[in-house]
Structure formats: C-alpha cells, structure tokens
Amino acid sequence: MKFKVNNHEVFASTGGRPFDKKKPLIIFVHGSGLTHMTWVLQTRYFAFHGYNALAIDLPGHGLSSGDSLKSIEQMADWVNDVIDAVGHKEASLVGHSQGCLVTVECTSRYPDKIKTLSLMGGAGAIPMNPELLSLAENNDPKAVDLMMDWAHGPAGHFGGHPVPGLYHINTGTMLAKSRTIQNTLGVDFRACDNYKNGFEAAKKIKCPTLSILATDDKMCPVKEGKKLASLIDGSQVDIIDNCGHMMLLEEADRVLTVLKKFITTNYPPLSS
Amino acid sequence: MTDKKKELKPNTYKFDTLSLHAGYQPHKNAGSRQVPIYQTTSYLFDDVDHAAALFNLERGGHIYSRISNPTVGVLEERVASLEGGTAALATSSGMSAIFLTVMTLCEAGDHLVVSSQLYGGTVNLFRLTLPKFGIKCTFVKPRDTEGFKKAIQKNTKGIFGELVGNPGNEIMNMPEIAKIAHDAGIPLMVDATYQTPYLCKPFEHGADIVIHSLTKWMAGHGSSMAGILVEGGKFDWMQNDKFPTMTKPYEGYHGLSFAEEFGPTAFTMKARAEGMRDFGPCLSPQNAWNVLQGIETLSVRMKKHCSNAEEMVKYLSNHESVAWVSHPSVPDHPDHELAKKLLPNGRGSMIAFGIKGGKDAGVAFINNVKLASHLANVGDTRTLVIHPASGTHSQMDEATLKFAGLSHDMIRLSVGIEDIDDIKNDFEIGFRAARKPRLVSNQ
Ligand SMILES: Cc1ncc(COP(=O)(O)O)c(C=O)c1O
C-alpha cells in the first residue's frame, strides 16, 4: 500500500492482505540498500494470521519516493512516523542488519509505542569497511557484488533458495541495484558507519526482544549480536547453524518459526 | 599506506564451479554428493497450517511435482546462476518454455514483435497457434533493427528472437534491440538455445527473459527433452500500465501482486504459480537430472564443439565439393564483427553449407555419411546432419524455401565433439558419393 510520511509517498507491502486497522501492526525494516522484498517469506505468513504486516521501503528505496535518510536516528523517527501515518498507536518491530540499528534506536526513543522487537543479523554498531563504503558512495556496482558475497553464508553461495527456482545471490544483487547505488547503499552504509548510539539505546529497551543470529554471518558476527543482546533486559537469542547474514532468505523457514513463536506469544494476533 | 592493501574482490563462485555446484546443498540431502532424483509426485505437509502457508506462497517449499520438484529446482537454480538471472522455471521441452513465457506475458488482444529467423516449431507457434489465443505477431528480419522499432504497436507486450537465426546464421543486434524494447517499456525475450550461457549471457546485453531448449547443448547428449525460462530481474513491470497481470492483485492467489511481492523474480513466480499450475508442462525429475549431468561438463563440451566447428568451417571452405559456408566465424559473414562482440568465447557449432550439385548431391551426401547422424535435432555430442530440401522441408517449392532462408543445396550441420579427423573422413565419404551419386549408392 501507499501512504504519505512528511509529504513523501511511502510504499509498504502488506503481505498480500488488505490493511485492516483492527489488527495489530508489525513493521519490518530492511537492511542497507535493500527493499521490502527481502521479507516476503515472513510477511505473508503474519498477514494471513491476524496481523497487519507492513514491510516498508525506506525513503528513496524500492518503491518509496523522497531522498534516502542520512542517519539511523532519522530513520528511527521515520519508523515512528509510519506508525502514526497508518493510524496505529503501537507496533512490533522487526529489523534486519541496518534495520536492527533503526529498530533498536526507534524502540529506545518510543518505548511506550513499541511492543516487541525482533532483530535479525543485528549488532550494536556496524562499522563499514572503508573501501566498501567508498565503492558504494562512488556508485560502483562492485559494492553490491561484495555485499552479496559477504552477506551469504557458504551454503547460501551454492543456492538452495527456499522458493523453488529462485537464486539467492542474483536476486539480492538485482534488489540492491534497482535504484542508484550511491543514493541507497552509499547513503545507508555511511549512516551505519556514523551510528554510535546502539549500545546506549539497547540499555533503554524494556520490551520483549528476540535476536536471531547466524553462525556464518560475516557482516554482523554472532559475537557482536550477542554483545548487543546482553545489554537488552531478558533478551532472547536464537542461533542458526550453517547460515549467513541473509538468514531471512537463506533459512527463511527457521526464521519464520522462531519469529512466529516469539511474536504470537508476546504480541498476540487478532483472533478471527 | 593503503597502496599495499589487497584490492577487495567478490569471491562468489565462477561459471565452471557453478556448472557443478549451483542450486544444491548436500548437507540438506543426506550428504548425497550427487543431486538425488526426487521421484515423487507430492510432499508431506507438517500440519494444516503448513499446508495453507505453502498454498498461499507464505513460505517456500514443494507441494506437488507439477508446480515444483527438488531435483528440477536444482536445475532451475543452476541455470539461473549460469545466466546471471534471478530465477528460472524448467519445463518439459523448449517449446513449452516459449509457450509459458508468452502466456505469462500476454493476454488475448496483445501483440508481439518477433524475429523471422526462428526454429520452425517456434515460427508455427507464433504464426499459427498464438493467433488462436488472440495473440498476434509481426515478423521482422533479424538484421532489420529499425524494423523492430517500427513494428511496435500500442498493444505490443514484448520482442522475441533467437540471437543467431536458424539456419541462415543471421545475428540479431541484441543490445540495440533491447534498447528499442526498453524505450517502448516492453521486455526483450531471447531464445539462446544455440549459445548456452557459456557462449553468451543475454542479460549482459539487455535481454529480460532468456529461454533455452535444454534438449540441445545444455543437456548435450541427445538423451532428454527439457526447456527453461530464466528471468534477468531488471525489467520494471510497474513502469507503465501494460502488464496488469503482473502488477495488479491476482485473484488466483488471494490478491497477490507478483511485481510488488517478488520484484526481480515476479515473472518466474507468475509463470509457475499460474502457467505451470494451469497448463502443466512440468519437467520430470529424471530428465532434470540428465540435464544436470550435461551441464556439469558444459564448458568442456562447448569448447570442443566450437573448436571442432571452426576446424570444419576451414575444411569446408577449402573443399572442392562445397559451394558456400555460413558460420559467424567466416570473415565475410555479414555479422562477423557483431558475433565477435556478442560471442567472445566461440561462435557456436551450427554450420550451414551448400553442396555442389544441388539437391541430388545433398541427398547422396546425407545417405552415405556413416559417422554423422541424419536426424532432426541439434546440439548433440555427436555430429548431426540434415538436408532440409529433401527432408524436413521437402514439400516446399523454390520460392518458399528461399523465404525460409533455405536452398536446395543446403546441408545443416551440428558439429559434435568426436575426433575432428574422423568427422572430416566421414564427410569425404559423403562428398565422394555426392560427386558420383549413382556409383556410390549402388555399392
Ligand atoms: C532454437 C530452438 N528453440 C526451441 C526449440 C524447441 O525445443 P524443444 O525441441 O526442446 O521443444 C528448438 C528445437 O529444435 C530450437 O532449436
């Protein structure tokens, strides 16, 4: 669906179900340079099981208009604006990678509004490799190729997509190249690199929190994810074997099973 | 300070490695090193919730082997990876891949611009069968780049062609024709059967959908029928209102919009969810496995196919019994330069040549070669020959033959990977017979 935030049109997938104000809201926030499509194997399930599952495209990404936001803090406020814009008072947040920084910051800023937080491939800080950052800022497609290499675990490099016929690395590459690289990936990487408040923000989080980490994640290694989780009161951690940073696709079913249990327990759906 | 630092390079697997490994994870298949043949029609659901989730495309997985099968799935991912595509859908034959592609793209009332130099079966589909579904086509000669532009109408939904036309070996200027298609907001579909991704990756030159008859060089051994459509993932279906079935909610899946939910893989998702579900030309797991075996050695075979073909071009060009030779490697071939650009790894193994003595000589040649097989296929590991004027096209008069790019003296040759001297020796037998038709055939 499309709606406006700060006068810019925002696109969000609703997982194939019409938006229904009566249902509790889950917002899915994608990673650097990516789009709502990374969530397709999670959102549709929630949309068909009593939730409004809103996989947003950040400004300037995917099908959303406007310029990309330059800082994680701005993105966090923007996610809060999305909750208001769709007429809800509260939401559960799910983030991947950069989306974890955004949702951690957002939850710490708006503790009354955010009911649960689910982090995938998250860390308290995501410092960028300077060469990768510079390639992305210079619009070099090699930045995307490097990201796709590092983001997929050894198993993901062979393929084995949960949806028959789809090939991970090329699909991710096309998503990340669907808009101008320097305006999406370049701005996002810089925002990640600049963001220093992750650990402080984490300490303020009181809502039920889940971290899904993967043993072969090179971008946000398990150690970093655990460090972040240890700062969040009562945070739950789930570690997936044989999987890289793109766990939401590489091991979509495992992720969905864990996420389903966590969200339905802590933020129940509207029963039909 | 940074000078000595190693340059960052992506370490994703390369072509030859992908040919052997892409799409398959042994640790999820009992450690089986070779891809298992999942000889089954259907798959257990964990519970009713799981069943519903699979039917709603809420999660990935297999339901019924008409829609998808794990062995076939490995083949699909493998070809997608080799082409540099996002997704693929394998079919029971090359023809069904073309048909599914068109039916996924078009509705009754739509129009396609199509190259006139295509495999005969494809010409029949576009000229005679698709009009029965309300889909009309305008044919344009492959070298007439401007002609493609002129033929585009308001209801045109795509351009279709073979990179190297058959049998005249005319080459379509893919980058320019892709630009024409994209300026008009429509996709370019390329049948790259004769090239395989080893010789050309059409997505790098602007194609949006690539189709293969896997029956040919990809499987390579003349054992199995199979086809595939591969998606490039770049085409934006939402840029105009020409493709409502891709962009608007689809009744068949609870209002799913393929373009919104699946973006760079939307076309394949629709082709499977709608086309494969409703038309059903699925590939058998056994045939998928046979094709996978072929693809494991694709590079090795294609190198030998191409080097043997170039040897044969030299041999034929210098032969007293040969009137003319057509192959993109011949310097005076009109598309020689374009071929170098689009086919840097080799110009393919299809050769057409004219035999001196016309139709009778052609018949004698075909009837007397012993090693080369006389049959209606191309892209076998074995050398294949056919004389269209006396076989496949024997009903045609001179004018019709000419329109189809054929002549009485033409022999079509699909060069195999036998020892090159054995192929040449065999051709000597054929040429000798062609020079003295009666004498040899009376032996
Ligand atoms: C270029 C081309 N495309 C498509 C086909 C049809 O493929 P199949 O015979 O696998 O149906 C052929 C068959 O000869 C072909 O040569």
Report pLDDT digits (tens) over B331-387.
Answer: 999 999 999 999 999 999 999 999 999 999 999 999 999 999 999 999 999 999 999
Angle A39-A246-A221 from CA coordinates, rounded to 5°:
135
- Residue B105's pLDDT is 98
Partner-chain residue, chosen from B59, B234, B238, that has the shortest CB–CB distance to A256 = B59
CB contact under 8 A, A166 and B268: yes
Domain boundaries, chain B: 15-294, 299-440
Using a CB-CB cut-off of 8 Å, the residues of chain B touching A149 are 10-12
Nearest CA to ligand 1 atom 8: B94
Which of A154-158, B166-170, B282-286 has maximum average pLDDT?
B282-286
- Asked if the model's pLDDT at residue B185 lies above 60, the reply is yes
CB contact under 8 A, A131 and B27: no
Give the 3-state secondary structure of chain A: CEEEECCEEEEEECCCCCCCCCCCEEEEECCCCCCHHHHHHHHHHHHCCCCEEEEECCCCCCCCCCCCCCCHHHHHHHHHHHHHHCCCCCEEEEEECHHHHHHHHHHHHCCCCEEEEEEECCCCCCCCCHHHHHHHHCCCCHHHHHHHHHHCCHHHHHCCCCCCCECHHHHHHHHHCCCCHHHCHHHHHHHHHHCCCHHHHHHCCCCCEEEEEECCCCCCCHHHHHHHHHCCCCCEEEEECCCCCCHHHHCHHHHHHHHHHHHHHHCCCCCC
Place of tokens 């080459």: B171
- Alpha carbon of B254 to those of A41, A272, B56, B257: distances in Å? 16, 17, 8, 9
- Asked if the model's pLDDT at residue B439 lies above 90, the reply is no
Rounded to whole angstroms, how far apart are CA atoms B333 and B340?
11
Is B225 touching ligand 1 by the criterion CB < 6 Å? yes
Rounded to whole angstroms, how far apart are CA atoms B115 and B399?
20
Q: What is the mean pLDDT of chain B?
A: 94
Q: What is the mean pLDDT of chain A?
A: 96
Burial B100-139 (b: 16+ CB within 10 A, else e): bbbbbbbeeebbbbbbbbbbeebbebbeeebeeeebbbbb
* CATH 3.40.50.300 is held by the domain B299-440: no
Q: What is the mean pLDDT of residues A169-187?
A: 96
Q: What percent of chain B has pLDDT over 90?
A: 88
Output the CA B124–ligand 1 centroid distance in Å: 12
**Nearest residue of B to residue A158, measured between CA atoms:** B22
Q: Rounded to the nearest 5°, which phi and psi values hold at A138? A: -95, 15
- Residue B39's pLDDT is 98
- Residue A224's pLDDT is 97
CB contact under 8 A, A171 and B265: yes
Testing ligand 1's pocket by substitution, the residue of B79, B95, B223 carrying the most ligand atoms inside 8 A of its CB is: B95
Is B121 touching ligand 1 by the criterion CB < 6 Å? yes
Provide CB contacts within 8 A for B287, sequence distance 6+: B92, B224, B225, B226
Is B191 touching ligand 1 by the criterion CB < 6 Å? yes
Side by side, which strands form the sheet with A114-120? Answer: A2-5, A8-13, A52-56, A25-29, A91-96, A114-120, A209-214, A236-240
Q: What is the mean pLDDT of residues B157-169?
A: 91
Q: What percent of chain A has pLDDT over 70?
A: 100
For CA atoms B72, B73, B79, B80, give the dihedral sign: positive
Using a CB-CB cut-off of 8 Å, the residues of chain B touching A135 are 8
Testing ligand 1's pocket by substitution, the residue of B115, B213, B283, B290 carrying the most ligand atoms inside 8 A of its CB is: B213
CB contact under 8 A, A161 and B60: yes
CB contact under 8 A, A149 and B12: yes
For residue range B88-105, list pLDDT tens digits in order.
Answer: 999 999 999 999 999 999
* Number of the ligand 1 atom closest to the C-alpha atom of B96: 11
User: Is the Cβ of B32 closer than 8 Å to some Cβ of chain A?
Assistant: no
The region, left, alpha or beta by phi > 0 then psi within -120 to 50, assigned to residue A159 is: left
For residue range A99-135, list pLDDT tens digits in order.
Answer: 999 999 999 999 999 999 999 999 999 999 999 999 9
3-class SS at B403? helix
Interface test mutation site (partner A, options B265, B269, B276, max chain A beta carbons within 10 A): B265
Nearest CA to ligand 1 atom 9: B94
Output the CA B213–ligand 1 centroid distance in Å: 5
Rounded to whole angstroms, how far apart are CA atoms A139 and A185?
9
| Residue B436 or residue B208, greater confidence | B208
- Residue B167's pLDDT is 77
Rounded to whole angstroms, how far apart are CA atoms A216 and B139?
52
- Partner residues linked to B410 by β-bridges: B354
For residue range A146-169, list pLDDT tens digits in order.
Answer: 999 999 999 999 999 999 999 999
Partner-chain residue, chosen from B8, B13, B233, that has the shortest CB–CB distance to A132 = B8
Q: How many residues does chain B have?
A: 443
- Residue B437's pLDDT is 52
Is B348 touching ligand 1 by the criterion CB < 6 Å? no
CB contact under 8 A, B80 and A170: yes
Interface of B with A in 314-353 (CB under 8 A): none
**Nearest residue of A to residue B229, measured between CA atoms:** A165
- Alpha carbon of B52 to those of A42, A52, A166, B49, B60: distances in Å? 14, 18, 21, 5, 12
CB contact under 8 A, B53 and A45: yes
Is B196 touching ligand 1 by the criterion CB < 6 Å? no
Rounded to whole angstroms, how far apart are CA atoms A10 and A20?
17
Testing ligand 1's pocket by substitution, the residue of B93, B193, B224, B291 carrying the most ligand atoms inside 8 A of its CB is: B193
Q: What is the mean pLDDT of residues B174-179?
A: 98
CB contact under 8 A, B59 and A166: no
Q: What is the mean pLDDT of residues A15-20?
A: 92
Using a CB-CB cut-off of 8 Å, the residues of chain A touching B25 are 155, 158-160
Is B227 touching ligand 1 by the criterion CB < 6 Å? yes
What are the tokens at B388? 């269209």
Rounded to whole angstroms, how far apart are CA atoms A142 and B10?
8
Partner-chain residue, chosen from B13, B89, B262, that has the shortest CB–CB distance to A157 = B13
> What is this model's ipTM?
0.96
Interface test mutation site (partner B, options A49, A167, A260, max chain B beta carbons within 10 A): A167
- Asked if the model's pLDDT at residue B26 lies above 90, the reply is yes
Provide CB contacts within 8 A for B305, sequence distance 6+: B217, B346, B348, B349, B415, B416, B417
Output the CA B223–ligand 1 centroid distance in Å: 14
- Residue B438's pLDDT is 53
Partner-chain residue, chosen from B58, B73, B84, that has the shortest CB–CB distance to A165 = B73
Annotation: CATH topology of A2-126+195-266: Rossmann fold (3.40.50)
Testing ligand 1's pocket by substitution, the residue of B98, B122, B392 carrying the most ligand atoms inside 8 A of its CB is: B122
- Alpha carbon of A18 to those of A21, A49, A162, B121, B261: distances in Å? 10, 13, 25, 44, 14
CB contact under 8 A, A40 and B261: yes
Q: Rounded to the nearest 5°, which phi and psi values hold at B414? A: -110, 105
- Residue B378's pLDDT is 95
What are the tokens at A226? 């655990």
- Asked if the model's pLDDT at residue B442 lies above 50, the reply is no
* Number of the ligand 1 atom closest to the C-alpha atom of B216: 10
Provide CB contacts within 8 A for B192, sequence distance 6+: B162, B163, B200, B202, B207, B210, B211, B212
User: Is the Cβ of B20 closer than 8 Å to some Cβ of chain A?
Assistant: no
Using a CB-CB cut-off of 8 Å, the residues of chain B touching A15 are 261
Q: What is the DSSP string of B232-300?
A: -S---TTSSSS-HHHHSPBGGGTTB-HHHHHGGGHHHHHIIIIIIHHH--PPPHHHHHHHHHHHHTHHH
Largest CA distance in chain A: 51
Is B162 touching ligand 1 by the criterion CB < 6 Å? yes
- Asked if the model's pLDDT at residue B392 lies above 80, the reply is no
What are the tokens at A204? 């303020």
Provide CB contacts within 8 A for A136, sequence distance 6+: A33, A143, A181, A182, A185, A186, A188, A189
Q: What is the mean pLDDT of residues A178-200?
A: 97
Is B193 touching ligand 1 by the criterion CB < 6 Å? yes
Give pTM, 2 decimals: 0.96
Rounded to whole angstroms, how far apart are CA atoms B75 and B233?
18
CB contact under 8 A, B256 and A16: yes
Annotation: CATH topology of B15-294: Aspartate Aminotransferase; domain 2 (3.40.640)
- Asked if the model's pLDDT at residue B3 lies above 70, the reply is no
- Asked if the model's pLDDT at residue A268 lies above 70, the reply is yes
Rounded to whole angstroms, how far apart are CA atoms A171 and A178?
11
For residue range B53-66, list pLDDT tens digits in order.
Answer: 999 889 999 999 99
* Number of the ligand 1 atom closest to the C-alpha atom of B214: 10
Interface test mutation site (partner A, options B32, B55, B58, max chain A beta carbons within 10 A): B58
